[in-house]
Amino acid sequence: MSTENLEQSEDTGLFYGWWIVLASMGAMVIASVFYWQGFSLFFPELQGEFSSNRAALSGAISLSQLEGGMLGPVGGYLVERYGPRRMMTIGVVMMGIGYVLMSMVSSLVMFYIVFLAVISVGMSIGIRVPAMVAPANWFIKKRGRALGIAMTGSGLGGLFLPIIGWLIASYGWRPTMVIAGLTIWVLGFPIARVMRRRPEEYGLLPDGEKPVSKPQIVEDAPVEATRLATPSTPEAPSTVDGEADFSLRDALKLPVFWFLAIAFGLRQFAVGAISLHQVPYLVDTGRSLETTSVILAAVTLTSIIGRLGFGTLTDHFPPRYIMAFSMMMVGLGAFILSHVTEGMGMLLLYIAVYAIGWGGGATTMNATRGAYFGRRAFGTISGSMDFVQMFGLVLGPVFAGFVFDRTASYTIAFNSFAISAVAAGVLMFFLRPPKQAKD
């Protein structure tokens, strides 16, 4: 979408930030179907293909989380420097190529290489970071709602998970990988075209408030080029009254930055492992892969309640309380999951409790960062915090796989995740925002 079209959308009364939100939602659908949730449907097939134990196969997922954490600050910087449109285009290219290459791997080593070097890198710097940074930059007062709507894409992706399960069961995992790669390209490129960096670069203000004259600039150009292109046009202010405005250096000096990272990491210890291992666990209870894919779809779709509801609540209440409550729900959900068998009662309870808490926390985490530290360095601050909190995402999947390989059960692992998530909630409850931000 050109700058001219962006201006036309403003003339119709629709703030362009909402187009950013819808594009981010589409990117989250791709992330959910082909990475966060959908990839777990390949897990049983890949284990059989490579004759691997669950800990070894989970190692690739854990290393991808380690890689994602290390790339977080880099990805945040690249999005702030070159804009979300360019970076998302790169991510779409890499993920599509990665899935096509994945269909050709013949060993666990090659699986590790393709997954870590291509798919995971594309996802980390080109899909997840742009889709979260862009809405946060376009909204302040409505940031929680905007992020909640964007994050519903992760839940809406559940609609397509049964299709992935059916394709794997009907045609095999290799042809499904090729179909996945082509689908990422078809959907991803148009979505990337919509993305923009900040409203100020277009003479607008966050939330669509009090727009100023619209300068003519090169779309998604670096900030320096933007300034050169508008020498006679006053720029919109870089911040809004009352908005937190921390640089990365300032944020790193604050104890709350590090405690937030610890709390988020304890939560990620649970959700990272459950996202991967709930599929093989449910298959172990006697359910088919097709049935499990429907259950996984129910989990992701139910999470929309938390993503939208909790996100909206952060616009009206201190986000630390909303985040703490979501963490407690994750902990309770992990405990319930350890008691799920072939019956439906505990399964339905797990879906209701865990999915809402998981979805709500995914939105509230980013809303909390925005409320505590502001937009100026949101990408690099979020990426740096991801680097610190990645201990949970790295250790969780491998720990669950190790426990299962040793005990032939997930009970110890799931109960450990429950304790971790509850501890995160207790810590989060007491983490007040820095003085420059509002509670």
List pLDDT tens digits, range 171-230.
Answer: 999 999 999 999 999 999 999 999 998 898 888 889 888 654 544 545 554 444 444 344
> Ranked by mean pLDDT, which of 204-208, 242-246, 282-286, 320-324 comes out on top?
320-324
Q: How far apart are CA 282 and CA 288, in angstroms?
A: 8
Q: What is the mean pLDDT of residues 130-134?
A: 90
Q: Using CB atoms within 10 Å of the CB of residue 17, give its burial: 0 to 12 exposed, 13 to 18 middle, 19+ buried.
A: buried
With a cut of 60, say whether residue 83 has pLDDT above it.
Answer: yes
Residue 203 confidence (pLDDT)? 85
Q: What is the distance between the alpha carbons of residues 235 and 376, in angstroms, rounded to a whole number?
A: 15
Confidence band for 1, pLDDT divided at 50, 70 and 90: very low
- Widest Cα–Cα separation across the chain: 70
Per residue in 135-168, pLDDT (tens digit) is 988 998 888 889 889 989 988 988 898 999 999 9
183-187, 299-303, 304-308 — which one is most confidently predicted on average? Answer: 183-187
310 and 322 Cβ atoms separated by less than 8 Å = yes
In this model, does residue 51 exceed pLDDT 90? no
* Per-residue exposure over 421-432, b if at least 16 CB sit within 10 Å of its own CB, e if not: bbbbbebbbebe
Check residue 47 and give its pLDDT: 84
Residue 237: phi, psi to the nearest 5? -60, 145
Q: What pLDDT is attached to residue 224?
A: 46
Question: Rounded to an integer, what distance in angstroms lies between the CA atom of residue 17 and that of residue 23?
Answer: 10
Q: Kindly tell me if the per-residue pLDDT of 27 is higher than 60.
A: yes
Is the distance from CB of 44 to CB of 164 less than 8 angstroms? no
CA angle, 15 then 20 then 21, to 5°: 95
Other Cβ atoms less than 10 A from the Cβ of 255: the count is 9
pTM for the predicted model, two decimal places:
0.72
Q: Which two tokens stand for residue 412?
A: 């110890």
At 233 the pLDDT is 36
What does the pLDDT read at residue 407?
A: 95
Kindly state the DSSP code that residue 309 receives in the 8-state scheme. Answer: H
At 349, which amino acid appears? L
pLDDT of residue 223: 45
Burial class (CB within 10 angstroms; exposed 0-12, middle 13-18, buried 19+) of 326? buried
CATH number, domain 3-200+243-429, options 1.20.1250.20, 1.10.10.10, 3.40.50.300, 3.40.50.720: 1.20.1250.20
What are the pLDDT digits (tens) for 337-392? Answer: 999 988 899 999 999 999 999 999 988 998 899 889 988 888 889 888 988 888 89
**Token couple for 367:** 């809303």
Burial environment of residue 274 by CB neighbours within 10 A (0 to 12, 13 to 18, 19 or more)? buried
User: Which of these, 123, 114, 106, 108, lies nearest to 55 by C-alpha position?
Assistant: 108
Does the pLDDT value for residue 99 go beyond 90? yes
pLDDT confidence of residue 343: 86
Output the pLDDT for position 211: 52
